[in-house]
A and B are shown apart, each in its own frame.
Chain A
């Protein structure tokens, strides 16, 4: 399958198969005017199957969102049709207003002005917990 190569933009590669839609949703790529391609279940020598997102616009993506969903993904910044920069992703220690706490008993459920903040509590198991009620984040 061919997708046109991009001139100036971003390729999020090596996304664990199945995670692309979650990243698309959390990065709010649906609000972009630019062309965005989601490739699901592409063949990968390293991973077997992987997802890829291509964004045909030189935007700043929130690396914390990608690090939160899939820290093994890679970011390639494309300028003038060439690879300009590879960005390494790490799991962020804190994520703010990326996901909402699902606990109906959490203070954030009734006080709208509070930021939804999650802290990384277990790097190995990729567990983030709400700083208010300690409920696990839904990745």
Chain B
């Protein structure tokens, strides 16, 4: 069966645990996985700029012994000549065994998955979904905390346009005893539908605030985000909001000893580089975890498709 992953909701909690299990095994026994995808090809279709996600997918496939065919960017591809996402997906399916795709338009990965004859992994579709980032986040939380239950999760920064934030809320809301603290400027609050349809619908406690320092000592997880310039139609709004939150060692003085500081990266200035030396800083571990989860996901989808 050809199955694609467009949104984190496409994976059940037990499948996420299965992917975490595979990732842990890859970390412990990398040699066991070094030839699993020999002779198989991953197509990376990135219609908008990305460094870490594309490289992470490519590194994941290489570490599984597979090959990568890449498209440099929308400007140099057939999309620039007006080809539809559907036709691109059908064409690239002929050359590859699995596709990872990023596109600026929301729903583009869904269209690709409908038309491709190989599994498609959404590597980010505009402000909509970015499931493999959420998988990286979940593996990081699991490896640092050992569980998902009874955690107070603080999300800070751009909670309006930040797709990783919405997906993480969606994913973490499936576990018991989780509480959210939503820290953002008024203009960048979590959208009403996330509050209504995820938090209120499931009866999950949450608190909204503009003040990071007051709530910091209560948090088990602090998920910082960048104010994303590319999501604003108006540059003035971006300039006004971009420096809303900057995490420094001074602000962390009253935080818990076992706080886990996360960030989907790239950061601009919202986490001071001085915080990098703090043992609670986990954002570079998160990058590495992303690669392991992508390896686990590629393996799962290729196995389900009967390709390996």
Could you tell me the distance between the alpha carbons of A131 and B111 in the complex, rounded to whole angstroms? 10
A136 touches B106 (CB 8 A): no
Looking at the complex, which one of A105, A107, A114, A130 makes contact with B127 (CB distance below 8 Å)?
Answer: A105
Distance A122 CA – B106 CA, assembled complex (angstroms)? 21
Q: Which residue of A lies closest to B127 (CB)?
A: A105
Q: Is A108 on the interface with B (CB-CB < 8 A)?
A: yes
Contact of B103 among A107, A114, A135 (CB under 8 A): A107
Interface residue B130 (Cβ < 8 Å from any Cβ of A): no
B107 adjacent to A107 (CB under 8 Å): yes
- Whether, in the assembled complex, A110 has its beta carbon less than 8 Å from a beta carbon of chain B, the answer is yes
Among the listed A109, A122, A134, A135, which residue makes an inter-chain contact with B105, where contact means beta carbons less than 8 Å apart?
Answer: A109
How far, in whole Å, are A134 and B7 apart by their CA atoms in the complex?
11
Minimum CB–CB distance from A27 to chain B (whole Å) comes to 27
Contact of B193 (CB < 8 Å), options: A106, A109, A113, A136: A136
Cβ-defined contact, B193 with A110, below 8 A: no
Bound complex: CA of A111 vs CA of B47, how far in Å?
A: 14
* Chain A proximity mask over B44-87: 1 for CB below 8 Å, otherwise 0: 00000000000000000000000000000000000000001110
Confirm or deny: A103 has a beta carbon within 8 angstroms of a beta carbon on chain B. Answer: yes
Task: Give the shortest distance, in Å, between A114 (CB) and chain B (any CB).
Answer: 7
Q: Produce 1/0 per residue, A95-139, CB < 8 A to B.
A: 000000001011111110110000000100000001111111000
Q: A105 near B110 (CB under 8 angstroms)? A: no
Confirm or deny: B294 has a beta carbon within 8 angstroms of a beta carbon on chain A: no
